[in-house]
Each structure stands twice: as structure tokens, then as C-alpha cells.
Structure 1
Amino acid sequence: MPRLYDLMLMLDPNAPEERQNEVIRNVESMIEADATLVGKHDWGVRRLAYEIDHRPDGAYHLFQFETDKNELLERLDHSLKIADGVLRFRTIRLKPGSPPPPTPRPEAPRPRERTQDARVAPRAAADSERPVEEPESKEAPAESDSAAEDVESPAHGS
């Protein structure tokens, strides 16, 4: 009797798009050759709880399939271990009657992005409210330069 499995695949989002698609196609073709693909979900790029290989984000893909062949699980395990662009993967057997996978929640903005936006927004508002500078401000430095020249003149004479 076939068993239901979930394969969660986390890819490097910095890997070339072509490479990511190749890994996904290979997984799909292996599953479809020896199993029934029940569901495929692209959960997108999400922030990791901790960096993996100095990468803060991962591209998540969930595959659900039914099979009674352990050879498929071994082949998936072997090929994903050596595939470039795969950060992590996990295959689990689901109990009968398990609920469907949840729809992923939208990712909240990162704390750094919020603080940068908070700093930029008031500055942008202040810039838009600031009056246009008048030509007088350009003349002020010229006066200070001539004052500096007057101070230097007596020093050269001695």
C-alpha cells in the first residue's frame, strides 16, 4: 500500500534560476517515475531562522507524493545531497488522515528594513518641505574666504 510523503526542499535563492529549475525538474521526474505526485507548492523565498552557509534566505518548495518504493526515497536522498544549490531537504512520512499543508503566511518585513524605512521617510518628508535655498547662501562662503585671506596677509609680511 502506498504511503504519503512530504519532501521539503530549501534551495539557495542566489543560485542561478536555471540551476534551481533544474533541481526542481529532477525531483519531479524522479517522483513521477516511481510515485504519484499529489501536490507541489512553491513557498517562495523566506528568511531563515539562522544562516546556512552564510545565506540568510532560502527558497522553499514542498512536494507531496505517494509511493511504496524505498528505492525512490534513497535516490532522492542521494541526488539532493550532492546537488548544487540545495541548502537543506527533509523527507517525512505522513500518517493517514494528516491535514493538508498550510498556506504559508506572508513574510513580515525584516527589522533592518523597517528601521531604514523609518529613517528615510522623515528625511524625505523634511527634504520635500525644505524651501529652496536662495543665492545669499552661496555668497556667505565667499565672504568667509576673503576674511581668511585678510588674516593670512599680515602673516606673510613678517
Structure 2
Amino acid sequence: MRYYELMWILGADADEEGIDQSIEAIDEQIENHGGERLRSAAWGRRSLAYPINHHAEGIYNVVQFRMEPDESVIFEKEILADQAIIRHLQLRIEESELLPVAPVIPPTPPAAPNDSGDLDEPVDAPATGELSGESPEDSTDEAAEKEKPADTAAEEEEAVESEASGT
């Protein structure tokens, strides 16, 4: 068996039910031809580079599957017969080109109540400079000076010098 990727575009006038039916029909055709659907992705509504059958937008879907080469030719001819599909592209791909499977991230458990029945509250982090012994005001002034653009700092220095010279 070889690996294939099929991208197909439905007309923008397709509703959610029509999109789901198209995906189910493709999956069913893959199975009917002895193939195995591996991965699929709905890319959603996108603008087309040029109008296709008077459509400026289309609904993109992609599926990757395994199938015998002879069956893939017949499968592609069936795709051409589907009037809802305004454009398609079927490619043979290598196994290394398969879409990565998104890792399953377990849901985060809710915060456990502490002894008093209240939810645990996060501890406030120390203000900038408190750990180094600086007062928060000193560190704020230094941070503000570092954030000033070079032009502004130079202009301020010139203003201070001109005031000192009395001009």
C-alpha cells in the first residue's frame, strides 16, 4: 500500500451539513477501495487565488490515507464525479510526510480546597528589585531610563546642558 494525500475544495455555499457529508463520503470511499484513513484536517473557508466555477471562496479539507495504487486511480475518478467538489488534488506521499498527530493534553485538575475550605490562591511574586535589596522606586527609574530611545535621552541631556549654561 502507498500513502496519499487528498486536498479538496467545496464551494463556499456549502453549509456545515454539506461539509460533514462530503467528509463522510470521502472516508467511506477510502474504505470501499480497501484504504485506511490516517489523518484529516479541515482548513476551513479561504479565499481562492482565482475564481473557480464562479466561486471566490472555498472550503478546504485534507485527508491522508493508505491505499493500493490501482484503487487510488479509481478513487480519484469518483472524486471527479462529485459535483460539490470544485477542485481537488491527490498526491502520493512518503510515510515521513504524514501530518503529525497532535499530542493529547490532559485537562488540568481544578484547584484543591485548603484546610479552611477556600481555594488555594497564588502567592504574589516579589516586586522588581526587592530581592536585590533595591527599593522598587530605584529599579523603576532605571528601567524607565533603559527604555528611553537614544534620541530622547540625547535631547534631554542637551536641554540640561543648555539650562546649566544659562541659554
What TM-score, normalized by structure 1, do the two folds share? 0.56
Residue aligning to 2:4: 5
Q: Cα 1:80–1:45, aligned 2, differ >3 Å: closer, same or farther?
A: same
Q: Distance in 1 between matches of 2:26 and 2:15?
A: 17
Residue aligning to 2:47: 47
**Count of residues in correspondence between the two structures:** 100
Alignment partner of 1:76 is 2:75:
yes
SS in 2 for 1:97: helix
The runs of 5 or more residues in structure 1 that have no matched partner are 104-158
Q: Cα 1:6–1:53, aligned 2, differ >3 Å: closer, same or farther?
A: same
Residue aligning to 2:36: 36
Q: Distance in 2 between matches of 1:28 and 1:67?
A: 12
The runs of 5 or more residues in structure 2 that have no matched partner are 103-167
SS in 1 for 2:80: helix
Q: Distance in 2 between matches of 1:57 and 1:84?
A: 16
Residue aligning to 1:121: none
Q: Name whichever of 27-36 and 52-61 sits farther off.
A: 27-36
Deviations 1:74-117 (A, max 9, x none): 3322222121211101110012422537x9xxxxxxxxxxxxxx
Q: Cα 1:23–1:3, aligned 2, differ >3 Å: closer, same or farther?
A: same
Once superposed, what is the RMSD of the aligned Cα atoms? 2.1
CA contact (8 A) 2:5 2:91 kept: yes
Q: Distance in 2 between matches of 1:18 and 1:79?
A: 21
CA contact (8 A) 1:10 1:59 kept: yes
Q: How does 1:94-113 map to 2 (within 5 A)?
A: 94-98=93-97, 100=99
SS in 1 for 2:20: helix
What TM-score, normalized by structure 2, do the two folds share? 0.53
Higher relative contact order (CA 8 A, sep 6+): 1
Q: Distance in 2 between matches of 1:85 and 1:67?
A: 23
Deviations 1:100-145 (A, max 9, x none): 37x9xxxxxxxxxxxxxxxxxxxxxxxxxxxxxxxxxxxxxxxxxx
Percent identical pairs in the alignment equals 27
SS in 1 for 2:44: strand
Q: Distance in 2 between matches of 1:99 and 1:74?
A: 20
Alignment partner of 1:90 is 2:89:
yes
Q: Structure 1 or 2: larger helix share?
A: 1
